[in-house]
Amino acid sequence: MQKRVKGLRIQRKAKQYLEDRGYLVYMIHHTRWSKDIFGLFDGFAIRETSTKAIHFEHTPKRKTIIKKPPNIIYFQVKSNAFPKKEPYDEFSKKYGVKCWLMKWIDRRGWEIYETYCGRQRIWSDGIR
């Protein structure tokens, strides 16, 4: 199988995976002139924030400010191996965004590495 064809197939699986979880997904079409977002990501996904995620802050000038944490994920899709994680950890810490490294393991399913503001976790979703 050609590398490009396999990569596009896995990117379509990643898009479907995120859309099934309620995200609106935008992916970069790679050409010679357009590369990854910020040189790191294949796309980003966004979804509505639930009302449970609202928290209140009191300030001297205003009684209450309602803040909703952003529900945006920047993601990179790979097959069978994660890229180096340090640039993604640094990007997440610096800009306070959630980053996913999505690794498709042949005949097993997804393994996802998430980093958000210095916290990391890995989980597997054995879907096909």
pLDDT tens track for 85-108: 999 999 999 988 899 999 999 889
The percentage of residues in the chain with a pLDDT greater than 90, rounded to a whole number, is 44
The whole-angstrom separation of Cα 59 and Cα 22 is 34
23 is in which domain, residue-wise? 3-48+80-125
Structural domain contains residue 75? no
The pLDDT score that the predictor gives to residue 119 is 87
Structural domain contains residue 60? no
Residue 74: which of 56, 99, 52, 93 has the closest Cα?
A: 99
Structural domain contains residue 85? yes
pLDDT tens by residue, 55-86: 555 556 555 555 555 589 999 999 998 889 99
In which element (H, E) is residue 111 found? strand 109-116
**Which residues sit opposite 121 in a β-bridge?**
114
Structural domain contains residue 105? yes
As given in the structure block, the two tokens for residue 4 are 């490009």
Residue 64 CA, distance from chain mean position: 31
3-class DSSP state of 91: helix
Cα-trace Rg, the chain: 17
Structural domain contains residue 99? yes
The pLDDT score that the predictor gives to residue 29 is 78
Domain count, the chain: 1
Residue type, 41: F
Structural domain contains residue 63? no
Quickly state the pLDDT bin for 37 (edges 50, 70, 90). confident
As given in the structure block, the two tokens for residue 121 are 């976790």
The pLDDT score that the predictor gives to residue 53 is 46
Predicted TM-score of the model (pTM): 0.77
Structural domain contains residue 66? no
Question: How far, CA to CA in Å, does 47 sit from each of 61, 71, 89, 121?
Answer: 31, 6, 22, 21
What mean pLDDT do residues 27-53 have? Answer: 77
